[in-house]
Amino acid sequence: MNFDLRLPIGLMFSLFGTVLSVYGLMSDAALNKKSLGLNINLDWGLVLLGFGGTMLFFALRARGRHGSNPPPAK
Amino acid sequence: MPHSLTLAGIDYAILVIYFGFVLGIGWALKRYVKGSTDFFLSGRTIPVWVTGLAFLSANLGAQEVIGMAASGAKYGIMTSHFYWVGAIPAMVFLAIFMMPFYYGSKARSVPEYLKLRFDEKTRGFNAMSFAVMTVFSSGISLHALAQLMETLIGWNYNYCIVVSATIVLVYILLGGLTSAIYNEVLQFFMIVLGFAPLVFLALKDVGGWSVLKTKLIPVATAQNFAPGTWSQSWTHMSSALENPMGVSWFGMVFGLGFVMSFGYWCTDFLVVQRAMAANSMSAARRTPLIAAIPKMLFPALVILPGMIAIAIYSAGDHFLPLVDAADPSKGINYNMTMPALLARYYPAGLLGLGFTALMASFMSGMAGNVTAFNTVWTYDIYQSYISPNRPDSHYLRMGKFATLFGIAVSVGCAYLAAQFNNIMDMLQLVFAFVNAPLFATFLLGMFWRRATGHGAFWGLLGGTAAAAVFHGLASSAGNAPSIVKGGWIAQRFLFHSEMGQNFWMAIVAWTACFCLTIGISLATAQNKSDAELTGLVYSLTPKPKSENEPWYKQPVTVGILVLLATIVLNLLFW
């Protein structure tokens, strides 16, 4: 089946990561009272971005390697 | 009703993005569904890391996230037995010993395996009870979700039911089992990445693991248990009186570890179906093993937060809600442990992620049940008894109709659960009667060629009856005898807890089924020839060869490593 699940996973978590880190950068420090003073939105947003990016990297690399001809099914 | 969570715009944005991806995956998979095997079995084309994570995620329903955090608070680290004694050994056993027969027999479902191995009546019994069980479980999941959303955010119960049921319906209709499996993987990452920062923040707040252990001492002593009861998993198990679960090591190891866990992980089509969708025998066998690795670490994600919550609570910070605000003597509403932690530590933004993860856990449980239901219904009931010998396209249409029908019945069950709490307890009890003996049937079927169709069928019925009779004779401390709680025939056995009662009921049912099946099999003639049993019974099946594979692709090697790691975990937290 020519459907690589890493692509939607990568896209979704990159998107979540971006949204959270931008929100974390823009929001004021009072928001972080709950999270023990940590800017958890920014920190975790970057983690998600890293995870999403890794997934995307592998998905796109596999796609680039096989181009429009997927490998024959085993 | 007090609302304990307030969602901001950004939280809703995350929720909407997530459901956009869920539906998008269904849409993208639509063009691959051409025949009934694509719809029900994913055409056996799914890569192994995907089936592995889906195997884990299909079981990662509401019970796991909400229930395990609740048990972590209520019983402490002993809850980890559900993983390190229960799930992991059963998953390894499934991978090494049972998967070759499920995958190799080309059966399309667990009931169909029973037909090939035993006879039609054994299959019919299993298919019917399983079909009823799955729609009710999915209904209970749906009800729990809507009820939680109503309590937490004040959403309308009816809207919650309709919207969640519709989302699950749409993505299963579009892409069938593949869509359910792919979404389960998405849900897996959502749940892990949505709750991981919660564990981090809570652990940081309480002061780390060693401080947590000290803070759990008053939790135990206040209930008259030894100081280490909440942070030592095995030390306090020599008798049922020493621990809050009210079980001894024997009842736990044999009842939970052997009968209940092996029964669930090795015979429940809901999970086995994920492994059957793998693209090769080797991949099918590695599916439960790949699932076992993250499963081993799940106690840190779901049990640890509950333990931290109760430590903070008992130190005087009463952030966990009570069952009844007007009557504090009824105690803490443990089921709210996870939501209360989310509300306590997550600011807007991350709260959206955590909340979406919570919703995702309910939906993965529901979708797993629905896809198992539509397969068993279409292949094992409809094609076998109602309308055989139709073209494939007919069964594909029936499968889609069964999805619709299954979800409609689930919605009905959700409302039934909302109306009559006892009916649901009652049904879960009946399922327990049916499920407990099942593992004995499979064990004998796969490893003893002499087991016959009559032996299997009457053994199963006898085991189920034995469970019911034992339940009628047993009751547990603090519960008056009743149909649901037990002791409705006479109060012959008294247990320290309901959990102990359930574990022993499983032991009795399993033993009865095991002995009856052997006895009746010896008294009846074998109804299958050796040729028919090849590929279905251990001694008549050539062993799968995997010598040419690297070590990490050999099920036996990986299985042994997984078991060793589990032993280490048990010893670390002994």
**Which ipTM score applies to this complex?**
0.90
Q: What is the pLDDT of residue B547?
A: 64
- Which of B18, B280, B349 shows the shortest C-beta gap to A20? B349
| Structure-block tokens of residue B243 | 């621990």
Q: What is the pLDDT of residue A67?
A: 54
> Helix axis angle, B157-206 relative to B392-419, nearest 10°?
70
Angle at B355 between CA B353 and CA B359, to 5 degrees: 115
Q: List chain B residues with CB under 8 Å of A48.
A: 193
Ranges A15-19, B246-250, B490-494, B523-527: which has the least confidence? B490-494
pLDDT above 60 for B180: yes
Q: Which single residue is written with the structure tokens 């027999």? A: B105
Q: What is the pLDDT of residue A73?
A: 44
- Angstrom distance (rounded) from CA B432 to CA B426: 10
- Which of B29, B280, B353 shows the shortest C-beta gap to A16? B353
Is the distance from CB of B374 to CB of B402 less than 8 angstroms? yes
DSSP calls for B194-205: HHHHHHHHHHHH
Question: In this predicted model, what pLDDT tens digit does every residue of B4-15 receive, in sequence order?
Answer: 778 889 999 999
Question: In this predicted model, what pLDDT tens digit does every residue of B113-128 receive, in sequence order?
Answer: 999 999 999 999 999 9
- Angstrom distance (rounded) from CA B31 to CA B203: 46
Average pLDDT, stretch B274-286?
Answer: 89
Helix, strand, or coil (residue B482): strand
Chain A residue with the nearest C-alpha to that of B14: A16
Three-state SS string across B96-159, please? Answer: HHHHHHHHHCCCCCHHHHHHHHCCHHHHHHHHHHHHHHHHHHHHHHHHHHHHHHHHHHCCCHHH
Q: How many residues are recorded in chain B?
A: 574
| Structure-block tokens of residue B120 | 């039609």
Give the residue with greater pLDDT, B421 vs B333.
B333
Q: List chain B residues with CB under 8 Å of A12.
A: 17-18, 21, 186
- Which of B29, B50, B345 shows the shortest C-beta gap to A35? B345
- Angstrom distance (rounded) from CA B283 to CA B286: 5
Question: In this predicted model, what pLDDT tens digit does every residue of B56-94 receive, in sequence order?
Answer: 988 887 667 888 899 999 899 999 999 999 899 999 999
pLDDT bracket for residue B255 (50, 70, 90):
confident
Give, as one character, the DSSP assignment of residue A35: T
Of the candidates B516, B532, B542, B524, the residue with the CA atom closest to the CA atom of residue B444: B516
CB contact under 8 A, A31 and B197: no
Question: In this predicted model, what pLDDT tens digit does every residue of B346-372 receive, in sequence order?
Answer: 999 999 999 999 888 888 888 889 999
- Which of B280, B348, B353 shows the shortest C-beta gap to A74? B280
pLDDT bracket for residue B546 (50, 70, 90):
low
Q: List chain B residues with CB under 8 Å of A34.
A: 344-347
Chain A residue with the nearest C-alpha to that of B17: A12
Average pLDDT, stretch B428-435?
Answer: 78
Q: Which single residue is written with the structure tokens 């081993």? A: B296
Is the distance from CB of B526 to CB of B452 less than 8 angstroms? yes
Distance from CA of B44 to the nearest CA of A (A): 10
Question: In this predicted model, what pLDDT tens digit does every residue of B22-59 receive, in sequence order?
Answer: 999 999 988 888 888 888 888 788 889 999 999 998 88
| Structure-block tokens of residue B103 | 């995958």
The pTM is what? 0.91
Of the candidates B306, B401, B385, B392, the residue with the CA atom closest to the CA atom of residue B121: B385
Is the distance from CB of A39 to CB of A8 less than 8 angstroms? no
- Angstrom distance (rounded) from CA B257 to CA B87: 8
CB contact under 8 A, B201 and A38: yes
Average pLDDT, stretch B137-158?
Answer: 88
CB contact under 8 A, A24 and B349: yes
| Structure-block tokens of residue B416 | 């039934």
Q: What is the pLDDT of residue A72?
A: 47
Question: For testing the chain A interface, which of B18, B189, B203, B282 should be mutated: the one with the most A CBs within 10 Å?
Answer: B189
- Angstrom distance (rounded) from CA B356 to CA B11: 8
> Helix axis angle, B157-206 relative to A40-66, nearest 10°?
110
Question: In this predicted model, what pLDDT tens digit does every residue of B212-229 receive, in sequence order?
Answer: 999 999 988 888 898 888
Please list, in sequence order, all residues whose beta carbon lies within 8 angstroms of the beta carbon of residue B234, skipping any fewer than 6 positions away.
Answer: B249, B570, B574
- Within B253-391, residue ranges assigned H as helices are 261-267, 269-276, 281-298, 304-314, 337-345, 350-375
Question: In this predicted model, what pLDDT tens digit does every residue of B395-407 receive, in sequence order?
Answer: 999 999 999 999 9
Give the residue with greater pLDDT, A19 vs B251.
A19
Which residues 300-319 of B have a C-beta within 8 angstroms of A? none
Distance from CA of A1 to the nearest CA of B (A): 7
β-sheet bridge partners, residue B474? B493
Q: Which single residue is written with the structure tokens 């979700």? A: B145
Q: What is the pLDDT of residue B417?
A: 84
Q: How many CB pairs under 8 A join A and B?
A: 87
Q: List chain B residues with CB under 8 Å of A16.
A: 14, 17, 353
Is the distance from CB of B142 to CB of B133 less than 8 angstroms? no
Angle at B262 between CA B555 and CA B126, to 5 degrees: 110
Is the distance from CB of B555 to CB of B282 less than 8 angstroms? yes
Q: What is the pLDDT of residue B424?
A: 64
